Amino acid sequence: MASLSVIIPVYNGAETVPLLLDALKKQTGDIEEVEYIIVNNMSTDNTKEVVLKSAERLDLGIIYIEENQIQSAYAARNKGIRVSTGEIILFTDADCVPHPCWIVNLVAAFTDGKVGAVAGRIDAYPGETLLELFATRAEILSQSAALNHPFLPFSQTANAGFRREVFSLTGLFRDHLEAGGDIDMSWRMQRMTKFDLLYTDDAIVYHRHRKNISALYEQFRRYGRSSVYIEKLYSLSVKRKSYAPFLTRLFLWICLYPFLKIKHLFGRISKAELYHEPLAIFINIAMIIGQRQALEVDLAEKWKFDFLHPLLVER
């Protein structure tokens, strides 16, 4: 039985998984008791072959399983949790590259028995495309916003760890959520148990941002939908954004574009700075579209979750 489990959901990760597995192979410290669980979540590319060949090439022992019932990273994580044996369970994603000290530093944060979950630092993996540079500059997926949420702090599963006991007390992730399941899990833990959420700056993963505009659009449309699900689930005030302010900002940027372009040509601003405003507007509009779509969704199915065993502890 392993004392530590690392669970990674993968959907069409043939391009990114080799770098992830390379990073896992380079983990430092005493990691003999670590089990790596890769959960293929209905990929349509050759993810399975790439995972198995890469693991063989690296001589990295992994547990390869599949979640073929529900297309959701949270359903895949739940499948991994059910298979896992570790008392501490770490999560990252297939498009992430953990620092060599990621595991040892994330686990070290569990020294205090009151800590039920730990959020690690998420930095941008070096990218060259305009969208990657924009995402880095905009600090997309930074833990800072998550940890400073006005309701309760939460940890993003791109870099997070939980005690196994947390899932026994609060239940697993909500299978049908497209995004926001990490928010829900962190909040359930803080509201239903006596465990605390801790942040450590020493456990780092590098996230590979979206490279094409359609993937960026879908990412933020999904975030928009999930924000409505979570706000309704926790009876928070749902503030609907309007397109109008963003269209005004776009008009102003178009007016300023000739001057900004000259500054770019003379090296005064970078390409990412030049196009930051329209891209920021773009992702906000994608979120608004997602929010409006979510208003038409039956949430009963999305809010279901299962328990490892039916034990609840009121905080």
- Please indicate, yes or no, whether residues 256 and 177 belong to a single structural domain of this protein: no
Residue 19, domain member (yes or no)? yes
- The CA distance from 220 to 208, in Å, is 16
- Please indicate, yes or no, whether residues 15 and 156 belong to a single structural domain of this protein: yes
- Please indicate, yes or no, whether residues 107 and 54 belong to a single structural domain of this protein: yes
Partnered with residue 97 across adjacent β-strands are: 206
- Please indicate, yes or no, whether residues 253 and 120 belong to a single structural domain of this protein: no
Task: Choose one of 211, 228, 251: the last residue of a domain.
Answer: 211
Residue bearing tokens 């198995």: 52
Whether 24 shows a pLDDT value over 50: the answer reads yes
Mean per-residue pLDDT for 302-311? 55
- Please indicate, yes or no, whether residues 121 and 51 belong to a single structural domain of this protein: yes
Residue 312, domain member (yes or no)? no
Residue bearing tokens 């044996």: 85
Residue 68, domain member (yes or no)? yes
Residue 160, domain member (yes or no)? yes
User: Cα–Cα distances in Å, from 91 out to 9, 80, 84, 171, 290?
Assistant: 9, 10, 12, 16, 26
* Structure-model confidence comparison of residues 271 and 30, the more confident one: 271
Whether 282 shows a pLDDT value over 80: the answer reads yes
**pLDDT score at 309:** 43
- Please indicate, yes or no, whether residues 134 and 56 belong to a single structural domain of this protein: yes
- Cα dihedral 94→63→156→42 (10° resolution): 60
Query: Residue 302 — very low, low, confident or very high, per pLDDT cuts 50/70/90?
Result: low
**pLDDT score at 313:** 32
- The CA distance from 122 to 159, in Å, is 7
Identify the DSSP state of 158: T
**pLDDT score at 61:** 87
- Please indicate, yes or no, whether residues 164 and 17 belong to a single structural domain of this protein: yes
* Structure-model confidence comparison of residues 205 and 306, the more confident one: 205
Q: Which domain holds residue 94?
A: 4-211
pLDDT tens figures, 79-103: 999 999 999 999 999 999 999 999 9
- Please indicate, yes or no, whether residues 228 and 198 belong to a single structural domain of this protein: no
Position 217, amino acid: Y
Residue 301, domain member (yes or no)? no
Task: Choose one of 211, 229, 250: the last residue of a domain.
Answer: 211
Residue 72, domain member (yes or no)? yes
Query: Residue 314 — very low, low, confident or very high, per pLDDT cuts 50/70/90?
Result: very low
Whether 1 shows a pLDDT value over 70: the answer reads no
Mean pLDDT value across the chain: 90
- Please indicate, yes or no, whether residues 102 and 221 belong to a single structural domain of this protein: no
- Please indicate, yes or no, whether residues 114 and 173 belong to a single structural domain of this protein: yes
How many structural domains does the chain have?
2
- Please indicate, yes or no, whether residues 198 and 220 belong to a single structural domain of this protein: no
Mean per-residue pLDDT for 105-109? 95
- The CA distance from 18 to 24, in Å, is 10
**pLDDT score at 310:** 38
Query: Residue 129 — very low, low, confident or very high, per pLDDT cuts 50/70/90?
Result: very high
Query: Residue 240 — very low, low, confident or very high, per pLDDT cuts 50/70/90?
Result: confident
- Please indicate, yes or no, whether residues 199 and 228 belong to a single structural domain of this protein: no
Residue 307, domain member (yes or no)? no
Whether 238 shows a pLDDT value over 90: the answer reads no
Per DSSP, the three-state class of 289 is helix
Quote the percentage of the chain above a pLDDT of 90.
76
Mean per-residue pLDDT for 146-167? 94
In contact, 155 and 118? CB cutoff 8 Å: yes
Question: Minimal CA–CA distance to 146: which of 114, 171, 122, 175?
Answer: 122
The CATH number assigned to the domain holding 165 equals: 3.90.550.10
Whether 244 shows a pLDDT value over 70: the answer reads yes
- The CA distance from 116 to 124, in Å, is 26
Sequence-distant (6+) residues with CB within 8 A of 82 are 308
- The CA distance from 162 to 200, in Å, is 13
Question: Minimal CA–CA distance to 161: which of 81, 73, 89?
Answer: 89
- The pTM assigned to this predicted structure is 0.90
Whether 212 shows a pLDDT value over 50: the answer reads yes
Pairing of strands 88-92, 4-10: parallel
